[in-house]
Amino acid sequence: MVIYVMDRYNNIPMFITENGYGEEDNPIITVEEFQHDVKRVEYMDRYLDALLRAARKGADVRGYFTWSLLDNFEWNFGSTIRFGLHHVDYTTLKIREPQNYQQVGTNSSLQSIRSIL
The residues pairing with 82 across neighbouring beta strands, listed in sequence order, are 23
**What pLDDT shows up at residue 85?**
83
* Residue with more model confidence, 93 or 108: 93
In a domain, 116, yes or no: no
In a domain, 115, yes or no: no
In a domain, 89, yes or no: yes
In a domain, 22, yes or no: yes
In a domain, 98, yes or no: yes
Instruction: Place 102 in a pLDDT band, splitting at 50, 70 and 90.
Output: low
Q: pLDDT tens digits for 41-93? A: 889 889 999 999 999 999 999 999 988 888 888 888 888 888 888 888 888 88
**What pLDDT shows up at residue 84?**
84
User: Total domain count for the chain?
Assistant: 1
**What pLDDT shows up at residue 106?**
60
* Residue numbers annotated as active site: 18
> Does pLDDT of 28 surpass 90?
no
* Residue with more model confidence, 8 or 31: 8
Chain CA centroid to CA 57, Å: 22
b or e along 25-47 (b: 16 or more beta carbons within 10 Å of the residue's beta carbon)? Answer: eeeeeeeeebeebeebbebbbeb
- Give the residue among 110, 97, 86, 76 at the shortest CA–CA distance from 20: 86
Q: What is the mean pLDDT of the chain?
A: 82
The range of the structural domain enclosing residue 55 comes to 2-109
**What pLDDT shows up at residue 101?**
61
In a domain, 117, yes or no: no
